[in-house]
Structure 1
């Protein structure tokens, strides 16, 4: 992975919350007869689309720490009903837990170089600490 995006996951308190939201959205699309795809709509369209689609992911910041990522499958610019330019970040529904990395709040999304992205958690190596303690350790750079 060379280039990724990072974004705040507003409204989610945990990876489980995000997983439930994704499941809900995919099921809702199926019920409506749409393809069961997962996407996130954003206002700004990335200019480095080819770099992002060459294996990039969207890293989610939950409660002040990067905790999880989703692989980007497509980026679809479009105009909404009011004529405002927007962008669908098409995402693989599978969530990949990452090492926790503290992040200060920011607006929109940002590019995230692979060298700066947190590593994926290894299979079986879950987040065994309470979320508050894990976040504090991540903030201190211990975990």
Structure 2
């Protein structure tokens, strides 16, 4: 056989191989490649969609966190105002109670002072009566009177 015949037979076999490959083998391979490309594209679009959903979820979370922080700050401010109000009310009540106690103590002190004055008057009156009795019992003389008055003065 000659080289030309061998070359022609090889070309024919190659063409048959290419034809069979193009008809039976290439379409499933192309379909598999197209399917793989479609799946990759779907995966990329799903990833983009998930990324955008994550971004929107993060925005919602940040908004809710901001609202929660504002709510907490408002509640804290309200609690502080309430605490200050309670402290002021307690101070007012304490000062009112202190004023009442001071007024009561002053009234008691005045009563005690009045009682002491009354008791002192009674004692002075008793001493005066006693002195007058002693003067009347003794004879009337200026020296005795002076002595009695001096004694009375020392007793007072």
More strand by share: 1
Specify if TM > 0.5.
no
Which structure has the highest helix share of the two?
Answer: 2
Identify the TM-score tier after normalising by the shorter chain: under 0.3
* Structure-1-length-normalised TM-score: 0.14
* Greater RCO structure (CA 8 Å; 6+ sep): 1
Instruction: Normalising by structure 2, report the TM-score.
Output: 0.13
